[in-house]
């Protein structure tokens, strides 16, 4: 049931510039503001991420970040927002809020607490998911997290006919995410090849253009003739459509992990240099979802960064190289059909 808009929140601007996972994780806030206040919602983000919220039924308008700051301010001022929810909270959003001079609430990034964990191994982070930290920006509105998890809406024209494209039947294949934004988050090509060889199932390799060559290397090396390459050939929503039709997902700490959670897919998540304690693990809401975590918890050098590196700072890369592919494969198989 949608409530009548509060006189102070008839029109709300939500800001999150990037990236895939972070934007997907804002959707409980979008839904709560719309369903619990009835406010008109505009969402400001980078152009390449606009499709993630463009089809959300609670979003009236998506505005893309412009290089022309003054032009962007003029556009935003003309909308006459009653409230700004800043879920990105950086220098650019601060500058925007100063220019707009509207009431606002900002997401607390907990940078000090993250630094303490990375630099000294001291964990002062709250034991709550980042979704609930985003929700804290709505505290003054009296909104509640509805517990329904995160959302992604795929329009019919972005649907991928998986059988005609890859020759595999819907819900009869494993989606394996090949990469991540940083190399220290993800399995090597050799490890994924070994995993494909262990799994006697059709596999679709997922990722962007940067992962295309890695995927081709895996296919050339694998003994599993049922491995297909979806890396670099599909946009965000088409990739979500492929994930939606999988039986189970193997992912790293990356955006496709959050898309899989939005689609309620069971998944195995591989952790490298980052840790779930940062609050960015799969979010399924009150139903919990079905997912397994694989991480090297005993390593004192984890986490070495809140995001990642191109190579292990210590040179050994144990956080990834110590993963047992037989164990990973067993976890994947245990989720098939569940």
pLDDT digits (tens, 9 = 90+) for 147-168: 999 999 999 999 999 999 999 9
Nearest to 289 by CA among 270, 305, 268: 268
pLDDT of amino acid 1: 47
Provide the greatest CA pair distance for the chain: 63
Could you tell me which CATH class the domain 156-335 is placed in? alpha beta
pLDDT in tens, 53-95: 999 999 999 999 988 999 999 999 999 999 999 999 999 999 9
Instruction: Give yes or no on whether 11-141 and 156-335 have one common fold.
Output: yes
pLDDT in tens, 7-55: 467 999 999 999 999 999 999 999 999 999 999 999 999 999 999 999 9
Contact 14, 42 (CB under 8 A): yes
pLDDT of amino acid 253: 96
Rounded to the nearest integer, the mean pLDDT of the chain is: 95
Contact 335, 290 (CB under 8 A): yes
Q: Taking the domains of the chain in order of start, what are their residue ranges?
A: 11-141, 156-335
Euclidean distance between CA atoms 179 and 214, whole angstroms: 8
Can you tell me whether residue 92 is helix, strand or coil?
helix
Q: Rounded to two decimals, what is the model's pTM? A: 0.95
Specify the fold of 11-141.
Answer: Rossmann fold (3.40.50)
Euclidean distance between CA atoms 268 and 249, whole angstroms: 6
Residue 133 pLDDT > 60: yes
pLDDT in tens, 257-314: 999 999 999 999 999 999 999 999 999 999 888 999 999 999 999 999 999 999 999 9
């Amino acid at each position: 049931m949608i409530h009548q808009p509060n006189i102070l929140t008839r029109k709300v601007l939500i800001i999150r510039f990037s990236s895939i996972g972070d934007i997907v994780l804002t959707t409980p806030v979008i839904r709560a503001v719309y369903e619990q206040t009835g406010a008109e919602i505009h969402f400001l983000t980078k152009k390449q991420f606009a499709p993630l919220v463009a089809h959300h039924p609670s979003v009236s308008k998506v505005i893309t970040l412009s290089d022309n700051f003054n032009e962007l301010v003029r556009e935003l001022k003309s909308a006459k927002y009653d409230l700004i929810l800043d879920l990105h909270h950086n220098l650019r959003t601060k500058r925007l809020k100063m220019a707009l001079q509207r009431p606002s609430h900002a997401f607390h990034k907990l940078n000090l607490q993250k630094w303490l964990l990375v630099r000294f191994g001291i964990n002062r982070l709250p034991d709550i998911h980042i979704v609930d930290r985003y929700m804290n920006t709505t505290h003054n509105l009296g909104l509640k997290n509805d517990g329904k998890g995160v959302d992604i809406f795929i329009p019919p024209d972005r649907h991928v006919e998986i059988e005609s494209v890859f020759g595999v039947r819907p819900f009869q294949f494993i989606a394996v995410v090949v990469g991540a934004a940083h190399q220290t988050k993800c399995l090597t090509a050799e490890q994924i090849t070994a995993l494909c060889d262990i799994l006697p199932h059709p596999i679709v390799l997922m990722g962007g253009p940067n992962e295309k060559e890695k995927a081709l290397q895996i296919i050339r090396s694998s003994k599993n003739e049922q491995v297909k390459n979806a890396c670099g050939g599909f946009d965000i929503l088409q990739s979500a459509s492929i994930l939606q039709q999988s039986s189970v997902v193997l992912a790293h700490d990356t955006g496709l992990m959050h898309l899989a959670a939005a689609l309620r897919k069971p998944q195995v998540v591989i952790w490298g240099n980052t840790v779930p304690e940062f609050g960015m693990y799969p979010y399924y809401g009150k139903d919990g979802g079905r997912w397994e975590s694989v991480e090297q918890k005993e390593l004192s050098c984890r986490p070495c960064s809140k995001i990642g590196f191109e190579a292990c700072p210590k040179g050994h890369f144990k956080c990834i190289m110590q993963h047992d592919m037989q164990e990973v494969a067993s976890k994947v198989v245990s989720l098939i059909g569940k």
